[in-house]
Amino acid sequence: MNGAESLLKTLEAGGVDTCFANPGTSEMHLVEAFDRVAGIRPILCLHETVASGAADGYGRMKRKPAMTILHLGPGLANASSNLHNAGKANTPVINIIGDHATYHRKNNPPLQSDIEGLAKVFSHWVRTCEDPVELAGLGREAIGAAMTPPGRIASLIVPADVSWGDAGALPEIDKIQSFEQSVGERRIGEIAAVLKGGGRAAILMNGRAVADEKCLEAAGRIAAHCGAGLFTDTFSPRMARGRGRAVIERLPYLNDAAAAQLKGLTRLILVGSKPPVSFFAYQGKPVLLAPEDCSIHILSEPHEDPLGALEGLASLLNAPYGIEKVYEGKSPDLPSGEMSMEKVGAAIAALMPVNAIVSDESNTSGPHIFKAAEFATAHDWLFLTGGSIGQCLPLGAGASAACPGCKVICLESDGSAMYSIQALWTMARENLDVTTVIFSNRKYAILNIEFMRMGFKSQGKKAKELFDLSRPDLDFVSLARGMGVTGARASTASEFVDLFGNAMEKRGPDLIEVIL
Amino acid sequence: MNGAESLLKTLEAGGVDTCFANPGTSEMHLVEAFDRVAGIRPILCLHETVASGAADGYGRMKRKPAMTILHLGPGLANASSNLHNAGKANTPVINIIGDHATYHRKNNPPLQSDIEGLAKVFSHWVRTCEDPVELAGLGREAIGAAMTPPGRIASLIVPADVSWGDAGALPEIDKIQSFEQSVGERRIGEIAAVLKGGGRAAILMNGRAVADEKCLEAAGRIAAHCGAGLFTDTFSPRMARGRGRAVIERLPYLNDAAAAQLKGLTRLILVGSKPPVSFFAYQGKPVLLAPEDCSIHILSEPHEDPLGALEGLASLLNAPYGIEKVYEGKSPDLPSGEMSMEKVGAAIAALMPVNAIVSDESNTSGPHIFKAAEFATAHDWLFLTGGSIGQCLPLGAGASAACPGCKVICLESDGSAMYSIQALWTMARENLDVTTVIFSNRKYAILNIEFMRMGFKSQGKKAKELFDLSRPDLDFVSLARGMGVTGARASTASEFVDLFGNAMEKRGPDLIEVIL
């Protein structure tokens, strides 16, 4: 058995079943070996940012790693911005990066670069295999690294001659599990005492604490019982939301608004989160968002089990079952008439099917949709975790590959969409059940806001041009057609309701361009 | 004056006039300062791979740096694959990369990453400015670094508070020139002696030696006078070519063919090149392409002046003027009838206007075009220098921004086109005079070849899928329309002749999809 096959069989035995790939010559033996490894499905992506973003979406939904195959340093470089987002989301991902044959590296051929140096920037674990007999073992290590709680980016560099060399017999591999560390009784007791103290308290959650509805329920019981606030960071990897799930307030993106929401707090309990900070710094404004005299306490770190900690805390506090505040009420009525983001939000909330997965990079267009979705049926919401735009469509593709039974809804801004528009082709190739909604306001609207927040009174001609996406207008229906995805344009709320309603009724990829 | 303005004014004074940008919040003060710096034109790119590829194209044509503006680590990551190509081309480029305010970095906000670690992988010079009063000086250093012969990638990281802080008065800046080192008489004399020795000799050139027609002429005189071969590497940054220019043979991409071309050589003289090596390694095949008993001699290194060296050598050898072999003959007749790559090559050679710039990433579709262009009018040919696909369209956009009076022709493969298709929008926004020809064979054809070259007899189902670009077919006319570029499809040679002829007659961007 050659190295390539031993690696793929190891990953398969360890539970990897999906590979997002754009291979090249140095990865040919991996490509060839796929046909002897029944359990891994390779999915072709037309740019590596799609591959890494899809692996992120897959990992957020399955809580186990997908693998990528990337072509030397440049392939890894192309994947890196969405690996940045995946790393900030604590998503488990395994990258297999091809390299020149070990004996050819000294000749510095055109595709040579410092792959290890590059991989270290956006990975938690990096190894280069120099010997085919060690490849299976390193593959096993990579799985372990990726599954280290709360989830890690593992990058394994595989030179071509390590892929084609003789790897000997395959070692036995168990499915590797992730075991989150438990939070001890002592710490739970300390937090209980903090919550019983005076002043205004709140719980700030992120990671699995907001992805798992049982965590939300326990936290909601604690918050209701203690009269504490229950918050989540602006951007979390995945949030369980919709009717019947515990209410949790999301901190606003704008630092002034977030600080206002936290004002008056004297105690902040962190569950898988960090002390809240401003996304960017602004002259003369604080970057730490909690009040200065607010004490900060950790119930659970991101690598620890939030469910055990929250249920233990609720129990210790004798917080009754069923007292948590939950989202309730009827779906909004279907809107009609002129276009507005409130109406788009109402339509999406009313029409989304149960267990839908929303990949949200709608930026300035999004707040009304997120608000309206309180009244939607139970669903998962995935956010832009690392601030690197171009996450939404790849993430949605990967989530759909992970959960083929769920409708995926991508909410994407025009400027961000252009960062990874190639994902549409993979949606078509794999017939992924993804509806992409593009909000075309013909500008980087967030940058207009940020510019003014810097204290400038007006924009010069050159500055304006750098935020403007008109001249020419992007036409996303044509872009979708170019990649085999059916698209249509909605200029009124009524048109949007029709298009979105039809999309929810059928299976497969489509695109709706909302003209704002 | 704030740091941002002091930096831009320094770069302007140093001769920088073009900036390919996709800025974000941490670069807002740079954006704002553009309207007070008349000499620099910012050009918006919808993905950073377009910005870095365009800076490469600009630098290859102007032999001075364009600047980029990139948004923290993820923006730089997105730019990196085309920076890899630019670095391999020895193109001067100045990257200005925004970062969080110095005092905010310790809070690890979502967009935080190790920017320096990332920049070092694909840059020759990296600095982070920590104090606004030092920014102008570092800007000056960046120009010097980029202009260090033969051309370098300089990356300057600028935290937001360094941009907005008070930089004091602007120091005086001269335009910084690049001075290639001269090759001494002694080395020229040694090479003359080598050429007069026995056996079969050849000159292998790259860099400015093939970009500058005077270098080609001197090398052609030497080769003709000594009966030596005159070769260039498969991939050079820029080649002066067409009728009246000295003939130089390009080494083939396939290592067997390249080794065959070099067979029997006893002496190889390098002019800005390196000993030729295989692009990839293949089991059981040599990676060094020159014969084992061929001695290798260096006339000039990439950072040295090839023109002085070649003219000095020609003079020392008493090589007469006018003896060099030049491309001559009539343009081919315009083809008609069914499509073939030979006919496409003939049509392009016949119709391209004088001083056209060809950005070539046509891969398997390209050899017939390159061959036919021997009979075209004088032009420049730009190759994929680093093997990272997705260079062609950005490079063409940048070359056009550098040389608005020249028609740019992008020859691009379908698979590679999808790596940086966003460049079409910038062509439309800036009304760049670029004709993009896409060769749609609906596959990564090169990978089918490479797979077989690995010794595999047949492809399994999964392997096939990873090389296949059908299901769905890409439709580049729709993709172009989506970005405001007029496109049309050519299914016959006659259709191609009509479309390409019209494109050469008019100004502005357009696209022709050649269905193969």
Q: What tens digit of pLDDT does each residue of B298-342 get?
A: 999 999 999 999 999 999 999 999 999 999 988 889 999 999 999
What is the residue whose two structure tokens read 């003369």? A284
Contact A74 B108 (CB under 8 A): no
To the nearest 10°, the Cα dihedral for B352, B353, B359, B360?
20
Beta bridge partners of B20: B43, B68
What's the half-sphere exposure (Cβ side, CA atoms, 13 Å) at B182? 7
Q: Which residue has the tokens 């005299």?
A: A293
Name the residue in chain B with its Cα closest to that of A236.
B110
Phi, psi of B477 (to 5 degrees): -70, -40
**Mean pLDDT, residues B250-279:** 96
Domain with CATH 3.40.50.1220 in chain B: 185-316
Q: Do residues A67 and A11 lie in contact, with contact meaning Cβ atoms separated by under 8 Å?
A: yes
pLDDT at A478 over 90: yes
C-beta atoms surrounding A15 within 10 Å: 17
Give the Å distances, CA to CA, from B286 to B259, B262, B430: 9, 13, 47
Half-sphere exposure of A92 (CA within 13 A, CB side): 24
Whole-number pLDDT of residue A173:
79
- Give the up-direction half-sphere exposure of residue B423: CA atoms within 13 A in the CB hemisphere: 38
pLDDT at B172: 83
pLDDT per residue as tens digits for the range B218-229: 999 999 999 999
Work out the end-to-end distance of chain A between its first and last CA atoms, rounded to an integer number of angstroms: 57
- Tell me the angle at which helices B341-351 and B493-505 cross, rounded to the nearest 10 degrees: 20
What is the DSSP code string of B176-218? P---PBPPPHHHHHHHHHHHHSSSEEEEEE-THHHHSHHHHHH
Q: Which of A12, A36, A68, A80 should be substituted to probe chain B, the one whose Cβ sees the most B Cβ atoms within 10 Å?
A: A80
Cis peptide before B150 (omega within 30 of 0): yes
State whether residue B127 is helix, strand or coil: strand
The tokens for B94 are 């100045």
DSSP structure string for A15-31: T--EEEE---GGGHHHH
Cis peptide before A291 (omega within 30 of 0): no
| Cα B385 to Cα A399: distance, rounded to the nearest angstrom | 36
What confidence tier does B198 reach under pLDDT thresholds 50, 70, 90? confident
Q: Residue A466: closest CA among chain B residues belongs to which residue?
A: B44
| Angstrom distance (rounded) from CA B37 to CA B21 | 15
Collapsing DSSP to helix, strand or coil, B124 comes out as: coil
B28/A450 CB distance under 8 A:
yes
Length, in residues, of chain A:
516
Average pLDDT over residues B392-418: 98
Which pLDDT belongs to residue A450?
Answer: 93
Q: What is the mean pLDDT of residues B109-132?
A: 98
Closest CA to A157 of A116, A105, A124, A118: A116
- Which string of b and e fits A442-462 if b means at least 16 CB within 10 Å? bbbbbbbebbebbeeeebeeb
Contact A461 B35 (CB under 8 A): yes
CB A226 within 8 A of CB A194: no
Pairing of strands B379-383, A200-205: unpaired
CATH number attached to the domain at A3-164: 3.40.50.970
Cross-chain Cβ contact A111/B387 below 8 Å: yes
pLDDT category, B176, cuts 50, 70, 90? confident
Sort out which chain B residues have CB atoms less than 8 A from A287's CB and list them.
101, 103-104, 107, 109
- State both tokens at B422: 């966003």
Residue B129 structure tokens:
């400015």
The one-letter code for the residue type at A380 is: D
Q: Are B489 and B515 in contact, with CB atoms under 8 Å apart?
A: yes
Place of tokens 């003079």: B315
pLDDT score for A332: 84
Q: Which residue in the set A81, A107, A388 is minimally distant from B287, CB to CB?
A: A107
Shortest CA distance from B383: residue in chain A:
A110
Amino acid occupying residue B374: E
- 3-state helix, strand, coil split of chain B in percent (to 5) is 40, 20, 35
Q: What average pLDDT does chain A have?
A: 97
pLDDT at residue B92 in the model: 98
B388 touches B91 (CB < 8 A): no
* Amino acid letter for position A218: A
Contact B466 A32 (CB under 8 A): no
pLDDT band at B412 (very low <50, low <70, confident <90, very high): very high
Partners of B117 on chain A (C-beta within 8 Å) are 117, 120-121
Q: What whole-number distance in Å separates Cα of residue A516 and Cα of residue A514?
A: 6
| CA A428 from centre of chain | 21
Q: Single out the residue of B515, B513, B486, B491 nearest to residue B410, CA to CA.
A: B513
**Assigned token pair, A202:** 């709140």
Over the stretch B30-53, which tens digit does the pLDDT of each residue have?
999 999 999 999 999 999 999 999
CB-CB under 8 Å, A88 with B387: no
Match 């395959």 to its residue by tokens: A170
E strands, B92-160, where? 93-99, 125-128, 153-159
What residues contact A191, with CB distance under 8 A and at least 6 apart? A269, A297, A299, A313
Which of B32, B422, B473 shows the shortest C-beta gap to A418? B422
Which residue type sits at A36? R
Q: What would the pLDDT profile of A49-91 be if each residue is shown by its tens digit? A: 999 999 999 999 999 999 999 999 999 999 999 999 999 999 9
pLDDT at A331 over 90: no
Name the residue among B110, B101, B114, B17 with its Cα closest to residue B66.
Answer: B17
Answer yes or no: are the C-beta atoms of B413 and B391 closer than 8 Å.
no
CA-wise closest residue to A435 among A422, A424, A443: A424
Q: At what angle do helices B185-196 and B306-316 cross, to 10 degrees?
A: 50
- Per DSSP, A102 falls in state G
Handedness of CA B143, B144, B145, B150 (dihedral sign): positive
What residues contact residue B181 under an 8 Å CB cut-off, 6+ apart?
B149, B303, B304, B305
Q: Is the CB of residue A215 less than 8 Å from the CB of residue A283? A: no
Q: How confident is the model at residue B179 (pLDDT cuts 50, 70, 90)?
A: confident
Across the interface, of A25, A100, A462, the residue whose CB is closest to B35 is: A462
Residue among B23, B114, B277 minimizing CB distance to A109 = B277
How is domain B185-316 classified at the CATH fold level? Rossmann fold (3.40.50)
Instruction: Determine the pLDDT at residue B341.
Output: 96
Query: Which token pair is B131?
Result: 């104090």
The amino acid at residue B477 is: V
In chain A, the residue whose alpha carbon lies closest to the alpha carbon of B81 is A74
Residue in the block written with tokens 């059916």: A486
Q: Any idea what DSSP says for residue B123?
A: -
CA-nearest of A370, A199, A175 to A268 is: A199
Find the residue in B nearest to A80 (Cα).
B77
Q: Least CB-CB distance to A388: which of B35, B74, B482? A: B74
pLDDT band at B173 (very low <50, low <70, confident <90, very high): confident
Contact of B29 with A460, CB cutoff 8 Å: no
The pLDDT of residue B219 is 98
pLDDT beyond 90 at B171 = no
Contacts with B411 (C-beta within 8 Å, 6 or more apart), sequence order? B348, B358, B359, B360, B361, B362, B365, B366, B369, B392, B437, B439
* SS3 call for B2: strand
Interatomic CA distance for residues B129 and B138, integer angstroms? 7
Check whether domain B341-515 has CATH 3.40.50.970, yes or no: yes
CATH 3.40.50.970 residue ranges of chain B are: 3-164, 341-515
Residues of chain A with C-beta less than 8 angstroms from the C-beta of B109:
277-280, 287, 387
pLDDT of residue A174: 77
SS3 at position A138: helix
Q: What is the pLDDT of residue A177?
A: 78
A281/B483 touch (CB, cutoff 8 Å), yes or no? no
pLDDT at B56: 99
Cα(B59)–Cα(B54) distance, integer angstroms = 8
Contact B101 A25 (CB under 8 A): no
Q: Are A347 and A497 in contact (CB under 8 A)?
A: yes
Chain B nearest CA to A324, separation (Å): 30
CA nearest to A281, candidates B97, B109, B113, B158 = B109
Q: How would residue A108 be classed by pLDDT, with cut points 50, 70 and 90?
A: very high
pLDDT value of residue A385: 97
Q: State how far the Cα of A130 lies from the Cα of B250, in Å rounded to an integer.
A: 34
The DSSP bridge partners found for residue B381 are: B239, B358
Residue A178 has pLDDT above 90, yes or no: no
DSSP result, B366-397:
-HHHHHHGGGSSSEEEEE-SS--SS-HHHHHH
Nearest to B272 by CA among B182, B207, B354, B218: B207
Residues of A in contact with B160 (CB under 8 A): 280-281
Closest CB to A109 among B28, B107, B278: B278
pLDDT value, residue B430:
98
3-state secondary structure of B328: coil
**Beta-bridge partner residues of B95:** B68, B155
- The minimal CB distance from A24 to the residues B75, B386, B447 is found for B447
For residue A298, the distance in angstroms to the closest alpha carbon of chain B comes to 17
| A474:B454 CB<8 A | no
Instruction: Express each pLDDT in A439-459 by its tens digit.
Output: 999 999 999 999 999 999 999
Contact: A113, B462; criterion CB under 8 Å: no
